[in-house]
Amino acid sequence: MTTDPTPHLFWITSRAAGFAALILASLAVSLGLLMSTKLLKRRGPDLRVTHEILSLSTMVAIVIHAVTLLGDKFLNPSIADIAIPFASSYKSAWTTLGIVSGWSMILLGLSYYARRNIGVSRWRKLHRFTALAWLAGLGHALGEGTDAGQVWFLAMIAIVAIPAVGLLATRMLGSSSVTPAHAPDSTATAAG
């Protein structure tokens, strides 16, 4: 006996897009943090395009995750339910965390294209909040995600989230091996 997935197609699509958004965001955060360290400074290929592609893909997945819920007949959410914090009564705290995370990821990601207007230094400071938005998305997935208790889900998230958390912790603790890539080289400064 097979089960017809058609009535659940929007829910399944939303779950898949949410999972994809979390994986892509984790990879983008990891790569962004790696690019800001001495580990990749002036070594190997320029990974900014890869970081940008991962970031844009994350934003698309977030939008698909939210918009496809509008077709779900079980939840039957309104546009306000998927776009405005605390508007939905469904698992309100976790839903709100996801909405705030989604909007933050999108706005912070798009701020890259306004960095000349914002000012590059100010944009870099603003861009650091991306990691906080990513952590909120991780909390949303673990707190509300349909698959959050499944071993396969936890294993897949751990594969991409643990390195990102490790890099973020290293960055936050100010390890001597982590220096912003835009900072001048101390030997060049001393010689200059």
pLDDT tens by residue, 101-124: 999 999 999 999 999 999 999 999
HEC-encoded secondary structure of the chain: CCCCCHHHHHHHHHHHHHHHHHHHHHHHHHHHHHHCCCCCCCCCCCCHHHHHHHHHHHHHHHHHHHHHHHHCCCCCCCHHHHHCCCCCCCCHHHHHHHHHHHHHHHHHHHHHHHHHHHCHHHHHHHHCHHHHHHHHHHHHHHHHCCCCCCHHHHHHHHHHHHHHHHHHHHHHHCCCCCCCCCCCCHHHHHHC
Q: Structurally, how many domains does the chain consist of? A: 1
* Predicted confidence (pLDDT) per residue in 13-72, tens digit: 999 999 999 999 999 999 999 888 776 666 667 788 999 999 999 999 999 999 999 999
> Is 1 inside a domain boundary?
no
> Is 179 inside a domain boundary?
yes
Domain span holding position 176 = 6-191
> Is 82 inside a domain boundary?
yes
> Is 27 inside a domain boundary?
yes
| pLDDT score recorded for residue 43 | 63
Q: What is the mean pLDDT of residues 133-151?
A: 93
> Is 81 inside a domain boundary?
yes
> Is 26 inside a domain boundary?
yes
